[in-house]
Structure 1
Amino acid sequence: MKQGKISDYVNPVPIKITDDKAIFKVEKLVPTPYIERVLPLEYAPLYEQLAELDTAIPKIVCLEKSDRLTVIEEYIDSPRLDQYLETHKLTSAQIHDLICQLLDVLAVLHQQTPPIIHRDIKPENIFYDGQKLILADFDIARNMQEDADRDTRILGSVGYAAPEQFGFSQSGPASDFYAVGVLMNVLYTGYLPSVRLYKGPEREIIEKATHINSQKRYQSAREFKDAITGLGRSSWLLPGFRSHQPARMLTAGCGYLLMLFISFSMDAKSDSAVDSFLLRLSFFMVLFLIILFACNYRNIKSMCLFHSSKSKFTRACGIIISYLLVATVLTTALAALSVAISSFGH
């Protein structure tokens, strides 16, 4: 048995004391780690603001000002997002939830007077345990100034930093949304948008968030979050119709009609009209399933076999096997229905 030390237990409170024994309630002294930051005094107003906030950021325990600013803040005992992604692949629903949590934090920061701009949103500065997110590292954060035309210091992480952070204009809320858009693309593809842009329904959101012109990006966390939650309302629309673009919708409609025409024009050799119909319907559904899997309808790929694997080949095999299983179950069910109808007719 592992032995502790008497000195590990403190604050004795008497429970029962007699001539030959004494019972006390004690508390175990457990060292709690904290983070200490020593910063220039110019950071004092920012960290004084942060200390007052009740949101998903490390809690500020104390501030001390002399010739430098000393900040003692909560130590977060969770993996960083980049570490979490090394062993986990997020589903689309998890990505949506993570981004919405991040936007909730930014909404609080941006609503302060003056607004707090983080300016360094990236996986390394986010703690994530699979459910809850904490945004950390405010070392290059700044307060937005109404009369400033550009940032006084050029800071930010390449790939995630908005163009204005490199001296073109003053960074603001839209600068943080730029980084959120980049992060969203990275969570889906593993790459920056400039290397590989995600092709799913979130593509338009990512493109707007990362527009080179800050005025054409999302202007508030609420607007950004509404765009994400709006995807859920339109996610039942068939592939080709979710974009709401007339050309794509027309092309998709013609494609579906062509599939129907081909399926129901095929020569179904059967003595029963019902059997012929179900056979043609089965052929159409097999083709239709290819469209659903190829377009990741309703994020169907996140439900396929091996979807959490880090290997692209393994995930691709999982998608193919899952498709074949679903197609087999569907055709078998239609065949069973045909037999049942035939038996009922006799």
Structure 2
Amino acid sequence: GSYVDVYRGSWVEPTGKKSQVAIKILRPFARNGDGEPINERLRKRVDREVIVWRALRSPYILELYGFRSGEQPCLVSPWCNNGTLTEYLQAHHLSDADKLHLLAQAGKGLQYLHEYSPPISHGDIKPSNILIDDENRPRLCDFGLSRFLGEISPELQTSFVGQGTKGYQSPELVRDGVQDLPGDVYAFGCLILEVMSGNAPFYKLKAGKAILITTAGSIPEPSAHPDLPATDPLWGIMRKCWASPSNRP
């Protein structure tokens, strides 16, 4: 991201075994577009990420090996040579069956979060927040927008307005700042579309226009994604993900 640097390093276990790790470090003098320091807000995001991430244990969730707090916090996790799901799809010519297998595994990671006690909303499901490990298995990562349901006051919850990724934001997120499990399901439908068609929802539109039509209730249409025929059953699954929050899977 714009405010963090990621380095590759070595992790040495007590047994002497070495492994490659990713070290994500917050830049010490990060500023916003107006030149104002934003470290405090970013540190809160890192704190949120640590609180959620450190508790998770699933083969479909990237592990958190360790962290350092303070003025320049950092997070240490496994290094994935295959990169993100976006990079993996670009580097490999996968069959539709292989793509569906990756999606099914990523879905297990999201199911793990939603069935955790208390449930966890990831808050930013998208291909670049899914890493592919050395066994070609997807691992959900980047929990900076994640939260345990019920832990945040209504006042703080309004901070989620404007968060997320263009095309992946649910109507209730862009309109009211509501981040919850149905919002993750909405985003997962968007993930299916991008993986299977090659293009994200509303990829032809600028962010502002995408937000306006999302707020109005518009959803992606097959005509904008010719590589995924309108007759494909996946459209029915995605439309269920994009239904009103109470009607999503």
Could you state the TM-score of these two structures normalised by the residue count of structure 2? Answer: 0.65
Deviations 1:171-192 (A, max 9, x none): 2111111111111122222232
Corresponding letter in the other structure for 2:51: E
Equivalents in 2 of 1:108, 1:176: separation in Å? 12
Deviations 1:1-36 (A, max 9, x none): xxxxxxxxxxxxxxxxxxxxxxxxxx7x96744323
Q: 1:34 to 1:189 in 2, by over 3 A?
A: closer
Residue in structure 2 matched with residue 34 of structure 1 by the alignment: 22
Structure whose alpha-carbon radius of gyration is higher: 1
Q: How far did 1:89 drift?
A: 3.8
Equivalents in 2 of 1:113, 1:44: separation in Å? 19
Aligned-pair Cα RMSD in Å: 3.0
Q: 1:190 to 1:70 in 2, by over 3 A?
A: closer
Partner of 1:114: helix, strand, or coil?
coil
- Pick from 131, 140, 145: which aligns with 2:150? 145
Residue in structure 1 matched with residue 194 of structure 2 by the alignment: 186
Residue in structure 2 matched with residue 135 of structure 1 by the alignment: 140
**Which portions of structure 1, spanning 4 or more consecutive aligned residues, are displaced by more than 4 angstroms?**
none
Structure with the higher fraction of residues in helix conformation: 1
Q: 1:73 to 1:182 in 2, by over 3 A?
A: same
Deviations 1:191-218 (A, max 9, x none): 323433642022110111122x211211
CA contact (8 A) 1:95 1:184 kept: no
CA contact (8 A) 2:53 2:143 kept: no
Residue in structure 2 matched with residue 72 of structure 1 by the alignment: 76
Equivalents in 2 of 1:58, 1:185: separation in Å? 23
Correspondences of 1:6-45 after superposition (within 5 Å): 32-38=20-26, 39-41=42-44, 43-44=46-47
The unaligned stretches of length 5 or more in structure 2 are 1-15, 27-41, 202-219
Q: 1:30 to 1:144 in 2, by over 3 A?
A: closer
Partner of 2:239: helix, strand, or coil?
helix
Equivalents in 1 of 2:48, 2:190: separation in Å? 29
Q: How far did 1:41 drift?
A: 4.1
Q: How many residues were matched structurally?
A: 191
Correspondences of 1:79-228 after superposition (within 5 Å): 79-128=83-132, 131-145=136-150, 148=154, 151-154=158-161, 155-191=163-199, 192=201, 193-194=220-221, 195-196=224-225, 198-199=229-230, 200-211=232-243, 213-218=244-249
Equivalents in 1 of 2:191, 2:246: separation in Å? 20
Equivalents in 1 of 2:132, 2:148: separation in Å? 26
Equivalents in 1 of 2:182, 2:51: separation in Å? 24
The unaligned stretches of length 5 or more in structure 1 are 1-26, 219-346
Equivalents in 2 of 1:42, 1:98: separation in Å? 28
Residue in structure 2 matched with residue 54 of structure 1 by the alignment: 57
Equivalents in 1 of 2:194, 2:175: separation in Å? 25
